C-alpha cells in the first residue's frame, strides 16, 4: 500500500517534471526572454556599481544595444512619418532617440532593489511579448510587458508596456497632438525635440 503510494508519487513527480521541463527550457531558450533577462541584469549591475555620469553613459550603451530606438521613433511618429522628408526623418530619429534614451536612463535610475520576474512569452504580428512582474518591497508588483522584434539586427526591444500603458503609443499620441497644434508641420516637433536635447 505504502509502496504503491510512493510509486504514485514518483509517477506524479515524473509527470510534473515532464510537463514543466520543456516549458522552462523553452522559456530559457526564447531569444526575446533572454534579451529581457540580459538587459535587466546589465542595468541592475550598472546601478549597483556606477553613479552619476558613468551610470548614465552605461545605461545609454545598453539602450543603444538592446532597444530599437529608430523603430520606436518611427512608430511614435505614426502617419507623419510619410510626410517627412528624408532629411527631417534623420533629424527626428536622432532627436527622438536622444530624448528616449534620456527618459529611460532616468527611469532606470530610480531603481531601488526591485526584482524582475519573467512570465509568459507570446507572439503576435511578428513581435514577441515578454510578460514580467516588477516586485516592489512595498506594494503590489507592477506588470511590465516588453515587446521584442527582430528587424534584421537580432532581437531588440521596441516597446515597454507598464500596467497596460504603452510607452510608444503614449508618445505617438503626444507627438501627434503637438504636430496638430502647430500647423500640422513635422518640422515644429523636430525643432522642439532638438531644442530639448540641447537643454
| Chain contacts with another protein (rule: CB under 8 A) | 16, 19-20, 23, 75, 78, 99, 102-103, 106-107, 110, 119-120, 124-125, 138, 162-166, 169-178, 181, 189, 192-193, 196
Quick one: 16 or 54, whose CB is closer to another protein? Answer: 16
> 2 vs 163, which CB is nearer to another protein?
163
Smallest CA-to-CA distance from 29 within 185, 183, 155 is with 155
**Dist CA 179 CA 188 (whole Å):** 7
**Residue whose grid cell is 531558450:** 29
Q: Which cell numbers hold the place of 70?
A: 529608430
Q: Which is nearer to another protein, 35 or 189 (CB)?
A: 189
Specify whether the CB–CB gap between 130 and 32 falls below 8 A. yes
Smallest separation, CB 45 to another protein (Å): 23
Q: Identify which of residues 50 and 107 has a Cβ nearer to another protein in the complex.
A: 107
List Cβ neighbours of 191 (8 Å cut-off, separation of 6 or more): none
**Nearest distance from C-beta of residue 27 to another protein, angstroms:** 9
Amino acid at each position: 500500500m505504502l509502496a504503491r503510494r510512493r510509486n504514485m508519487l514518483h509517477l506524479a513527480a515524473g509527470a510534473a517534471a515532464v510537463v514543466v521541463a520543456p516549458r522552462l527550457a523553452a522559456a530559457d531558450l526564447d531569444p526575446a526572454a533572454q534579451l529581457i533577462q540580459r538587459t535587466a541584469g546589465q542595468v541592475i549591475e550598472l546601478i549597483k556599481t556606477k553613479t552619476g555620469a558613468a551610470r548614465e553613459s552605461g545605461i545609454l550603451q545598453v539602450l543603444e544595444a538592446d532597444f530599437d530606438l529608430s523603430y520606436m521613433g518611427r512608430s511614435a511618429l505614426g502617419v507623419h512619418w510619410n510626410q517627412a522628408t528624408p532629411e527631417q526623418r534623420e533629424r527626428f530619429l536622432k532627436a527622438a532617440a536622444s530624448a528616449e534614451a534620456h527618459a529611460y536612463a532616468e527611469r532606470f535610475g530610480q531603481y531601488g532593489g526591485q526584482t524582475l520576474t519573467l512570465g509568459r512569452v507570446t507572439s503576435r504580428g511578428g513581435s514577441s511579448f515578454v510578460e514580467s512582474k516588477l516586485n516592489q518591497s512595498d506594494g503590489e508588483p507592477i506588470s511590465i510587458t516588453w515587446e521584442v522584434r527582430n528587424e534584421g539586427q537580432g532581437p531588440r526591444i521596441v516597446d515597454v508596456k507598464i500596467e497596460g500603458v504603452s510607452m510608444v503609443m503614449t508618445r505617438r499620441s503626444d507627438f501627434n497632438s503637438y504636430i496638430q497644434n502647430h500647423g500640422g508641420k513635422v518640422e515644429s516637433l523636430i525643432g522642439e525635440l532638438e531644442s530639448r536635447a540641447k537643454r
